[in-house]
Amino acid sequence: MKKTLLLLVFTALLASCGTVSKKKKAPAKVTEAKEKKKTDKNGIQPYNKVITKEAVSDSGLFVVHKIKEKFFYEIPTNLYKKDMLWVSRIAQIPTGLGGGYVNAGSKTNEQVVHWERFQDKLLLKVKSYTNIADSTKAISKSVSVNNYEPTLFAFDIKAVNNDSTAVVIDVTKFFTSDVKAISGLGTRLRKQYKVKKLDASRSFINSVKSFPLNIEVKQDVTYDASEPPSNSATQTISLQMNQSMILLPEEPMQPRLFDPRVGFFTVSQYDFGSDELKADQKTYIRRWRLEPKDPAAYARGELVEPIKPIVYYLDPGTPENLQKYIKQGIEDWQKPFESAGFKNAIIAKDAPTPEEDPEFSPEDIRYSVVRYVASTTRNAVGPSVSDPRSGEIIESDIIWYHNHLRSYRNRYMLETGAANPSARTLNTPDEEIGEMMRMVIAHEVGHALGFPHNMAASYAYDVEDYRSGTFTQKNGIAASLMDYARYNYIAQPGDENIRFIRQMGPYDHYATNWGYRVIPGANSAEAEKTTLTSWIEAKGDDPIYKFGRQSSRFDPQSQTEGIGNNPRKASDYGIANLKYVASNLPNWTSNRTNNYNDLEELYGELLGVYSRYAGHVVTNIGGVFENIKTPKQGGAIYTHVDKDEQQQSMQWLHNNVFETPEWLLDPTILQNIDHAGYFERMRRLQSRHLNNLLSFDRIGRLIDAETTGDQYYSALDMLQELRSGLWSEASRGGNVDIYRRNLQRSYLDRMEYLMTDKGPTARRGRVGFESTLVFNVSTSDVRPLVRGELVALQRQLRTAKNIGINKVSRYHYEDAIARIERILNPEK
């Protein structure tokens, strides 16, 4: 009985121990369940667990889904490693960002990307076409391993679709993080505004849209910044970015090799598979893919329509009274395309209504649109998107900002009002405003077709030709619409039948033919080269067909806003007209409106116009003509401006800029637009050109002229003539007025800068055609020349201060003597 009892107790204890043991293992089972749940959450899940019934989906290049505040991409596997162009643009911008040089629509980055799977992640890789090689050549392997593609972002694969043809990723974090490669704030702006970080709590995805060839994302991003450009109390910069991802053509267009003698935007590559004994740089022009519908007829020289014309749609928000001028500006390029053998190559259309095409969207990469932006910005731009593999332009949107017409009205009055009665009003006739808009649109379309500014086109015409009605009505005011030659400011009162507004020119036909004509039988870029070169050489030295790049700030032929082949003479005419306008400005503005707002605005812009005319003459001094040519054409590419012309330009500056231009100091204007600051306004105006003259770059070119062995205008010549004119009171006797005292002290400030600054450290411009001269200032003639001029001036002033001048002038000279002493002997 006891044995039985003991056995029962022992059995119970074993059972009890077993129960306790099981209870201790239970938490382990719970942990396993949690781990399994955690794995399911972070790993690849069933499709319907990720893309739920709540999803709002949009099909296109691939399907995008929105679920509450999250966005998902469903990327087909057949798009892996397909080249896509990622374009980042600013869609909306805070006031003052970039100091006026950044606008809504500004592109901040353009890069080729592709998607690539790695284990359970999808990588967004940045691909470069800078270094290339034919894939059939062994060196292509070396190019690949020595140009490893950076990973822009790694996405966890959330799900695979039901037939395993696509994977799903969550892109929410990507677009709400500070990914600098797609940011609207580059390093310079971040430093300038002291940006600390992107605030994810105030950053979000505004919209994601999928189209057949592109995905468009609008993201609102907010940064913490100590010194924002506006609304400083908020310590915040907010902007909206537009991110475009565009599928590039499967078969790249046949590229066309660039020649610097014809102006085109370009893309460049280094070909390591070249037969040259180095990586061969190949530069291709950017252009649309135009192919004739009937190649045989085209080869016979007949005009043929392209398979796919260039079509621009008008923004539905475009004001009705402006629509016809925009269409005309677009289709003005039909004639140049006819010179290239194509008819109806470019067409303007109204955007379809929602009833006609409910799927139409300006953001769809298949459509190019002239967008009308209700903004106070005074600008218009013609950006385009191109394939970096071939230069093919895929799409472009012309952006017109509403207030831009005001700029043209103002300049029309200021630059042509003396000779053009219809410009002497704030209410410019509708047809003339329309003609201006038409030409601006045509100019921006030109950019979108691949053409940069051609600043030499206005230098093709003689200054006196601008006073001929017969000449200007036929030829306009420049050989190309792509010059910054907006108005004929040379024509004088009494000249008849003058054209004042720019128009398409012969260079535009020539460049369009060179860039777009299909060359039958030429099946590679290299095979076209002989023909393309012959077209250029056939035009020889004819200035009508010359291209002058905008970056040539040393070349008097290629100046922005200038017209005519003699800057000094053209500016004489321009200033004569401005004097007439300045004397009548109150009559044309405040006397009619009974307020001074327009007078103030136009007077400020008049000073800018005057300053441009002066700047054109400054370029003559130390100027170098750039005429790009091959050895076969003969002659030097670079030649210095004639010595006599430089000396006359210096005298012109003394007469028109440094001797106080009192006609700009009309009390009936100044005393009605500001209570003070008249002398400072004049000092800034004069100092701008004084500092431009006394730049390391210009002095360096004048020194360099000595090495040519020709008759030259030297740096010493320039410095002596400048000093003699600026300090003429010290030579001839007489008091120094307030404007001249300010100018002379500005001269001393600039001379001190030349004695202490190291000079420019980097050249600017396209490689091989940089415009800024960089040299070792401390070992050059700059400091000895400046020192010599200061010593001579100090000696002169010590005498002049004691010869019959008023007390203010004497104090001025004594101060100047002390300043020079400090510059020459800073350690005393």
Six-digit token string for 81: 């490693």
Q: Are residues 34 and 53 in the same domain?
A: no
β-bridge partners, 56 = 66
Q: Is the pLDDT of residue 25 over 70?
A: no
Domain assignment present for 156: yes
Domain count, the chain: 4
Q: What is the pLDDT of residues 669-717, one digit of tens each?
A: 999 999 888 899 999 999 999 999 999 999 999 999 988 877 899 999 9
How many other C-beta atoms lie within 10 A of the C-beta of residue 121?
15
CB-side exposure of 91: number of CA atoms within 13 Å? 17
pLDDT(293) > 60: yes
HSE-up (13 A, CA, CB side) for residue 67:
15
Between 139-153, 165-179, 361-375, 626-640, the lowest mean confidence (pLDDT) is in 139-153
Token duo for residue 423 = 């410009």
Q: Has residue 262 been placed in a domain?
A: no
Whether residue 438 lies inside any domain: the answer is no
Q: What does the pLDDT read at residue 275?
A: 56
User: Which of 223, 247, 271 corresponds to the end of one domain?
Assistant: 247
Give 238-265 pLDDT, tens digit per residue: 999 999 999 999 999 999 999 999 999 9
For residue 148, the model assigns a pLDDT of 67
Q: Which residues contact 408 (CB under 8 A, 6 or more apart)?
A: 433, 436, 437, 440, 486
Residue 128 CA: distances (Å) to CA of 21, 85, 146, 297, 429: 63, 11, 12, 39, 51
| Structural domain harbouring 65 | 48-247
Domain boundary among 403, 426, 449: 403
Residue 9 has pLDDT above 60, yes or no: no
Q: Is residue 382 part of a domain?
A: yes
- Evaluate whether 775 touches 695 at the Cβ level (below 8 Å): no
636: in domain: no
CA distance 93 to 105: 9
**229 and 344 share a domain?**
no
The torsion of the CA quartet 78, 80, 82, 85, rounded to 10 degrees, works out to 120
pLDDT tens track for 45-92: 999 999 999 999 999 999 999 999 999 999 999 999 999 999 898 888
Same-domain check for residues 735 and 783? yes
What phi and psi, each to the nearest 5 degrees, are found at residue 234? -80, -20
What is d(CA 446, CA 382) in angstroms, rounded to the nearest whole number? 8
Q: Is the pLDDT of residue 30 over 50?
A: no
> In this structure, are 35 and 73 located in the same domain?
no
> Is residue 581 domain-resident?
no
Q: What is the pLDDT of residues 146-171, one digit of tens each?
A: 566 889 999 999 999 999 999 999 99
Least confidently predicted of 132-146, 366-380, 536-550: 132-146
pLDDT, position 129: 73
pLDDT of residue 4: 43
The pLDDT confidence band at residue 272, using thresholds 50, 70 and 90, is low
List, in sequence order, every beta strand (DSSP E) within 495-633: 624-626
- The helix (H) or strand (E) run that includes residue 794 is helix 782-800
Pairing mode, if any, of strands 624-626 and 638-640? Answer: antiparallel
Within-domain flag for 76: yes
Burial class, 49, CB count within 10 angstroms (exposed 0-12 / middle 13-18 / buried 19+): exposed
Whether residues 35 and 53 share a domain: the answer is no
Give the mean pLDDT of the chain. Answer: 88
Q: Do 103 and 216 reside in the same domain of the chain? A: yes
Residue 576 lies in a domain: no
User: Do residues 196 and 330 both lie within one domain?
Assistant: no
- As a whole-number percent, the residues of the chain with pLDDT over 70 amount to 89
CA dist., res. 516 & res. 337, Å (int): 8
Q: Give the domain-ending residue among 364, 379, 403.
A: 403
For the stretch 470-483, pLDDT in tens is 999 999 999 999 99
Sign of torsion, CA 690 694 699 700? negative
Helix or strand holding residue 313 (H, E) = strand 310-314
Q: Are 813 and 730 spatial neighbours (Cβ–Cβ below 8 Å)?
A: yes
Asked which of 133-147, 493-507, 508-522 is least confident by mean pLDDT, the reply is: 133-147
Do 20 and 59 lie in one domain? The reply is no
Same domain, 195 and 303: no
pLDDT digits (tens, 9 = 90+) for 760-787: 877 665 544 556 788 899 999 999 999 9
Task: Tell whether 227 and 297 lie within a shared domain.
Answer: no
* Judgement on whether residues 194 and 330 belong to the same structural domain of the protein: no
Dump the DSSP string for 641-655: PPHHHHHHHHHHHII
Residue pair 794/821 in contact (Cβ under 8 Å)? The answer is yes
Pairing assessment for the beta strands 393-401 and 368-373 based on DSSP bridges: parallel
pLDDT attached to residue 382: 75
d(CA 298, CA 303): 6
Q: How far apart, in whole angstroms, are the C-alpha atoms of residue 321 and residue 314? A: 13
Instruction: Tell whether the model's pLDDT for residue 541 goes beyond 90.
Output: no
pLDDT at 819 over 90: yes
DSSP-derived secondary structure letter, 487: B
The mean pLDDT of 208-229, rounded to a whole number, is 93
Query: What's residue 18's pLDDT?
Result: 41
Contacts of 598 (CB under 8 A, 6+ apart): 426, 589, 590
Q: What pLDDT does residue 363 have?
A: 78
**Kind plus residue range of the DSSP H or E element containing 123:** strand 121-127
Amino acid letter, 706: E
Q: What is the pLDDT of residue 273?
A: 52
Instruction: Say yes or no: 142 and 222 in one domain.
Output: yes
What pLDDT does 740 receive? 97
**pLDDT in the model for residue 10:** 38
